[in-house]
A and B are shown apart, each in its own frame.
Chain A
Amino acid sequence: DAGVIQSPRHEVTEMGQEVTLRCKPISGHNSLFWYRQTMMRGLELLIYFNNNVPIDDSGMPEDRFSAKMPNASFSTLKIQPSEPRDSAVYFCASSNSDRGTGYTFGSGTRLTVV
Chain B
Amino acid sequence: QKEVEQDPGPLSVPEGAIVSLNCTYSNSAFQYFMWYRQYSRKGPELLMYTYSSGNKEDGRFTAQVDKSSKYISLFIRDSQPSDSATYLCALYTGGFKTIFGAGTRLFVKA
Contact = CB atoms under 8 A, between A and B. Distances in A.
Interface residues of A, number: 23
A1 interface: no
A30 to B, nearest CB: 11
10 contacts: A43-B44, A43-B88, A56-B95, A100-B96, A100-B97, A101-B32, A101-B49, A101-B51, A103-B46, A105-B43
Interface residues of B, number: 23
Nearest to A93: B43
Interface of B: 31-32, 34, 41-46, 49, 51, 88, 92-98, 100-103
Interface string A74-114: 00000000000000000101000011111111111010000
Nearest to A48: B96
Interface of A: 4, 31, 42-43, 45, 48, 50, 55-56, 91, 93, 98-108, 110
